[in-house]
Structure 1
Amino acid sequence: MKHISDPEHTINKRLYKLYPPEIAERAVSSIIDLIFKYKSRIVPNEYHLSQKDIILITYGDQVNKDHEASLHTLNEFMNNHLKGVINSIHILPFYPSSSDGGFSVVNYNAVDPHMGSWREIEHISADYRLMVDGVINHVSQFSDWFKAYLSGDKYFQDYFIEMDPSTDLSKVVRPRATPLLSEFTDDEGKIRHIWTTFSKDQVDLNYQSHRVLRNVLDSMFYYIEKGATLIRLDAIAFIWKELGTECVHLPQTHELIQLMREVLHEVAPEVIIITETNVPHHENVSYFGSGADEAQMVYNFALPPLLVHSILTKNTETLTSWAQTLTLPSDKVCFFNFTASHDGIGLRPIKGILSDDEVNHIVEKVQEHGGLVSFRAEEDGTKTPYELNCSYIDALTNPNEDDKIRFKRMLLAQATVLVMPGVPGIYFHSLVGSQNYHDGVKHSGINRTINREKYNIDWLEKELSTQGSLAKTMFDSYKRLISIRINEEAFNPFGKFKFLDLDKRLFVVDQKCCKNIDRIIAIHNFSDEVVSCVLPDDILLPLCDILMSNCTINPSNVYKDSRKIILEPYQIMWLKGKVTEL
C-alpha cells in the first residue's frame, strides 16, 4: 500500500490538484501528522447500512426539563420511546452558535453548555449511531478564528476571503437575498469586505488555505472520536470560490469532498459522508461522484416538495415519472429520504420537474395553510421563492381540516419516505405531527422558526399519552410503520427497485434486496377516492399486506387469485410476495 507521501497516493494527488506545489507539500505533511494523531485515538468499527437504519433528525435541545442537560433529556426520551425502533440520531449543530439555529458555529470543538457536554454526546453515541454536522463552509463572526483575523493575527489572515467591493461578482450564485460581501471593521478601524454566502453572521472559510482544510479535518476527526459515524456536510456546494465562476459545484468542491472522505477513511473507514446540497436534482446527485469516491448518501431534496404537490393535487403522475428517473452510480451509495427538516421545504430542487404554475400552486396553498415563503436573489436582481417555511402537516392540509384527514395525509407522506429506496430521515416534528409555530416566528423574526418549536418534556409526555390526540395518533402509527419496515430486508437501501405506473392517483414502489427472494410492492393512494388497480402479470401471487397482518402467523388479507387491488382514500398497502425478477 502506498504511503500518503508517495506522489501516486490519491490523497497526495488530490492535494496537488487543489494547491500549488509548495503549498501542497506542506498540506501533505500536515495531513499525515493529523492521521497519525487520530489513529491512536480512534478504533475502526465496521458497519454496513441496512433496512434497520432509521435516522431521527432533532435539535439537541428539542426536549427540555428543568435543571437537566437537554441532551440527557433527549437521550432519556429516545430510550423510553424509540429504543429498538430508531437506531440512529442526527443531532443538529450542538456547538456554541450565534444564530441560524446552530449553523453559525462559534467553536467547532465544544458543546453548547445549555445543552450539556461531550459526555452527553458520548452517552448518546453509545446507544445510537450518531450523525453530526460539519458546518464547514462558514463560521460565526464571533468565532475565535474570525476575531483573530480582525485582530491582525498573521496565522489567520488567509482563513477568510476579503474582496474589493468593486469586483465583478455577478456570476456568483446567490442562495439568499442578502449581500454577498459584508462589512466588518478590524481592530485598527479598517473596513473589510468579507465573503458571506448566507448571512453576515456566517463568514465563509477560505479553503485555498491548506491550514483551514487541516483544522476543519481535525474537528471532523474529533467528532468521530466522540462517537460520530455519519457526517453531514452542510452547504457544501458553495465551499470553493473561484472568481469568474458561479462559485457553486466547482470541480474543486468535488475534489475536496473526495479528499475529506479519503482522509477520514484512513482512520475510520466506516464513516459515512452525507452531502447537503439544496439545489436542482440533477446537480444534487452529482455528489455521489463515481459511486465509490464521494458522498455515500445524498439528500433527496426533490422528494419533500413533490410529495406536497402530489397530495395537494391528488395526482402522482409527476412524482412517479420523476422517481422512474432515479438511478445510482453503484450499489455502495443511496439516497437520504425525508419530508421535513430544521429548514423549510426547498423549491430549487424541483426546478425543471414542476412548472412555474405548479410551484406557485404549492406556494399559494402553503400560505393559505398559514405557512411562510423565503426568497432568493436571481442574477437579474429579481427575487424568487426558494423555500416554504411550514410544518409538514400544515403544508399538506389546512389546520382547520378534520384531524382524521390531517393524520391520514401526513402518515401517507411519511410512509412514502419509508418505502423510497435509501435511508429514511425523520424530523422530530414529523413524528408527533407538530403544527406551525407562529409564536416562534413572532419572537425570532425568522421564518424557519415556524418548524423549530422546542418542547417541555412533561408537556410532550402528556400529549403522547392522551388517547385521541393528534400527537399520540401520529407517534404510535409512525412507530408501527417503522417497526414493520426494519424487519423487511426488501427495504435494504442498496436493493433493487422500480416504480410502477398503475394509476395517476397511486404511487407504487417495487423493491427487493440482494439474494433474498422476498419482494414488497408498496401501493399508496394519494387521493380521497377509492381506487382500484390491477397488478402486472410478472408479479407472482400470493401477496400479503404486511400492514394488516403478520403474513407468517396469520396470513389474512392475502391476494391468492385476483390481481385486482382496491385501496380506500389515503390507504397505504405493503404487499409482500416472492420474486421472479426485478
Structure 2
Amino acid sequence: MENVPLSHLEQRLIAHLQLLYPDLDNVELAKKCLATFHLDPMTETPRPHRNIWDQSDIMLITYADTLRREGEAPLETLHKFVKNKLSDSISAVHLLPFFPYSSDDGFSVMDYTTVNPSCGKWDHVSALSKDFKVMGDLVINHCSSRSMWFENFKAGVDPGASFFYEADPNADLSAVVRPRTSPLLREVQTKNGEKHVWCTFSHDQIDLNFENPNVLLEFLRIIRLYLEKGIRWFRLDAVAFLWKIPGTTSINLPQTHEMIRLLRLMIEHYAPDAVIITETNIPNQENLTYFGNANEAHLIYNFSLPPLLINSLVTGNCSHLKQWLMSMPPAQQGTTYLNFLASHDGIGLRPTEGLLSEWELETLINTMKRFGGKLSARTTPQGESKPYEINISLWNALSGSAQQGPDQWQFARFLCATGVMMALEGVPALYIHSLFGTENDMERVSNTGHFRSINRHIWDMEDLDHALNTNTHHQKVFQSVTKLTQIRRAQPAFHPNATQYILHMGENLFAFWRQSLDRRQSLFAVYNMTDQPQSFNLSELNLIATDVWMDLVTEQIYEDHLGKVTLMPYQFVWLANKKGKIKIN
C-alpha cells in the first residue's frame, strides 16, 4: 500500500510535537490529535495576519454569577442584563470560570466539561454566544485536588494516573519563579506510595504534567467541547508556568511557547474566527514574547497599564506611563493588546518592575492602602517576600491623590482612567464592577478570608436596578462609561491596530494621536492627569487646517486651530477631524 503524503496541517503539527515530545512517534501522535479534535488533515490554513476585530470590539469581564436574581440561573440573568443594557456598548463577554470548583473562585477546576449547576447550563452559555462573542477560561496550568483526575492519580488509575507534575523534594528548586508564598511541593499519599506534586499557586491547585501527551489530548477534547458550545475566544490562564524543568525558573520556557503555537494551530484551523489570549502577569518584556511571530497569542494582556495609569492619576505625573507606552512596539497585524484597568484579580505589581522605582512603588502601595486596599505578596527564588498585587476596587483606587488623600474628584478621575483605556491601541476590556463603580467589598473579604474578594462583589439584581435608576454614583458611572463605549465603537481611529503616537505635552497632560487604517480619521486624545486646571495650545497638536475639529466627548467644535484649551481636573478631550458612525456587530 502506497504511503499517503502528509498534509500541510499534519506537517506543521508534527513539527510542534517533535519539539515537545522528541522521543515519541509524532506522526502517530499528530493523527491522534487531529482525530481527538475532529479536524480534517486537509483543512485549509487560515490567512495569517488577519485582524479578527475592529473598533466596535469591547469586552465585558465578569463571573457567571456576579448578577443574581431569585429563581433564575445567574447565566440567564447575566445574558438578559447585557442584552438589554449593553448591546450598544460591548461585543464580547469574558465569562470567568463557570465550572464546578473547590477554591479560588473558579480557578481550581474540578470538572472542565460541565457548567456549575449554581450558574446554569451549557445551553445558557451557547445562548449568550449567539448574541455576543464569548471568551472562556482555559485553566490549563493546574486543576483542583478534588478533581476526578487527581483522585485517579492517587488511586493509580487512568485518566489521571500520570497527569500531574511530580518533583523530588531534594532537588534544587530554588530558581523557580512563582506568585505565591506557600511551599511549592505538596506531599500526597497514593496507592504507589508517597509522591510530591508541584503546586505553583495553592495546594488545592495541582499542576498538570504536559510532558505526558495524554494531558494534551485531554485538553484538546476540552477545547473542542468549548468550541462546540459557541466559545470562540480562549484565555489561557497562568500559561507562563505550563512547562516545568527543575533547576530552571520554570516560567516562560521554550516548551510553553511551543505548546501555545500548537494550540493556536489546532484552534484556528477548527474555527478561523477564534482568538487566543495569554494571561501572563509578568514583567512587560517577558509578556511581549507571547505574541511570538504573530503565531502565538492573538492578544496579550497589557498588564503594565493598570498600575502605571493608576499611579499617574494619583500622583498627577504621567511620565512613567508615557515612557512605557513609547517603548511598546506597535502590534503586528493579526495581533493586538487587551487593555484593562481592573479584573477579578488585583492590580499586578510585577509588571511595574523596571518601570517604577522602589520608592514610587511604595508610595503607590501606601496610597492604595489608604483607600482601603490590601496587599498580597509572592516569594522570590532567594526566599524574600515581595509585593505581588494590590487588591482594591477601581472606584476606591481612584478616590483621591497620593498627596491629599480622598477628594471631590473621584468620579472625574475614574472617568479619565476609563477614557485612557478606551482610546489606546488595543481592545478595551471592562470589568463589570468598573461599569457600576462598585466599592470595596470588605464584608466579602471578611467572609472568605481572601483579599481578592474585595473586588468580587455579588450584585442582587433588585439592588443593582435600584442603584442604576436612582441618583447614585453607580448610575452616573454606568451612564458615563456606556456613553464612552458608544463613542469609541464608532471611530475608525480607535481600531485596535490603528496608528498610535505618544505626544510630549509635559508630565501633567497625557496625550496621543490615533489615525485610522485608511488614514481618513485623525484623533487627538488629551487628558489632564491632575487635580488642577491645565492648559495647552491647539498649535501643539498640528491640526490639519482644512478640517473641522470636534471633541467627540462634548461635541464642541474648535474653529480656532491655534487657540488655547483649558482642561478642568481630570477632564479629557477626543479631538477628531471626522465623526465616525456606530458599527454594531
| TM-score between both structures, scaled by the size of structure 2 | 0.93
- 2:554 is aligned with 1:548: yes
Is the 1:39–1:267 Cα contact (8 Å) retained in structure 2?
A: no
CA RMSD across the alignment: 2.3
- Runs of at least 5 residues in structure 2 that lack an aligned partner in the other structure: 580-585
Distance (whole Å) between structure 2 residues aligned to residue 327 and residue 530 of structure 1: 32
Which amino acid in 2 is paired with 1:484? I
- Aligned-residue offset at 1:27: 2.1
Is the 1:390–1:450 Cα contact (8 Å) retained in structure 2?
A: yes
Is the 1:5–1:28 Cα contact (8 Å) retained in structure 2?
A: no
- 2:581 is aligned with 1:575: no
Is the 1:18–1:252 Cα contact (8 Å) retained in structure 2?
A: yes
Is the 2:550–2:558 Cα contact (8 Å) retained in structure 1?
A: yes
- 2:194 is aligned with 1:204: no
What is the number of equivalent residue pairs in this alignment?
A: 567
- Aligned-residue offset at 1:67: 1.4
Specify the alignment match of 1:253 in structure 2: 256
1:178-577 equivalences under 5 Å are: 178-187=182-191, 190-291=193-294, 293-397=295-399, 404-467=408-471, 469-534=472-537, 535-536=539-540, 538-541=542-545, 542-549=548-555, 556-577=556-577
SS at match of 1:73: helix
Is the 1:89–1:129 Cα contact (8 Å) retained in structure 2?
A: yes
Distance change >3 Å, CA 465–CA 377, structure 1 → 2 = same
1:14 aligned residue (16, 23, 26):
16
- Runs of at least 5 residues in structure 1 that lack an aligned partner in the other structure: 550-555
Which amino acid in 2 is paired with 1:95? F
Specify the alignment match of 2:582 in structure 1: none
- Aligned-residue offset at 1:401: 7.5
Distance change >3 Å, CA 559–CA 249, structure 1 → 2 = farther
- Aligned-residue offset at 1:80: 1.8
Distance (whole Å) between structure 2 residues aligned to residue 298 and residue 140 of structure 1: 26
Distance (whole Å) between structure 1 residues aligned to residue 331 and residue 463 of structure 2: 46
Distance (whole Å) between structure 1 residues aligned to residue 257 and residue 489 of structure 2: 33
Distance (whole Å) between structure 2 residues aligned to residue 308 and residue 401 of structure 1: 14
**Bigger shift: residues 260-269 or 146-155:** 146-155
1:50-199 equivalences under 5 Å are: 50-187=54-191, 190-199=193-202
Aligned residues with identical type, % of pairs: 37
Is the 2:370–2:405 Cα contact (8 Å) retained in structure 1?
A: no
Distance (whole Å) between structure 2 residues aligned to residue 504 and residue 543 of structure 1: 25
Deviation sequence 1:499-550 (CA, Å, 0-9, x none)? 101121111121012114111111111101111123436431442111112x
SS at match of 1:566: strand
Distance change >3 Å, CA 367–CA 401, structure 1 → 2 = closer
Which amino acid in 2 is paired with 1:546? L
| TM-score between both structures, scaled by the size of structure 1 | 0.93
Is the 1:38–1:221 Cα contact (8 Å) retained in structure 2?
A: no
Distance change >3 Å, CA 401–CA 322, structure 1 → 2 = closer
Distance change >3 Å, CA 216–CA 243, structure 1 → 2 = same
Is the 2:378–2:385 Cα contact (8 Å) retained in structure 1?
A: yes
Distance (whole Å) between structure 1 residues aligned to residue 523 and residue 183 of structure 2: 50
Which amino acid in 2 is paired with 1:63? L
Distance change >3 Å, CA 154–CA 455, structure 1 → 2 = closer
Distance (whole Å) between structure 1 residues aligned to residue 184 and residue 53 of structure 2: 39
- Aligned-residue offset at 1:300: 0.1
- Aligned-residue offset at 1:568: 1.1
Deviation sequence 1:117-156 (CA, Å, 0-9, x none)? 0010011111111011010100101111111111111553
Which amino acid in 1 is paired with 2:131? D
SS at match of 1:536: helix
Which amino acid in 2 is paired with 1:82? L
Is the 1:3–1:9 Cα contact (8 Å) retained in structure 2?
A: no
Distance change >3 Å, CA 414–CA 225, structure 1 → 2 = same
- Aligned-residue offset at 1:99: 0.6
Distance (whole Å) between structure 2 residues aligned to residue 508 and residue 4 of structure 1: 53
Distance (whole Å) between structure 2 residues aligned to residue 525 and residue 6 of structure 1: 53
Distance change >3 Å, CA 253–CA 197, structure 1 → 2 = same
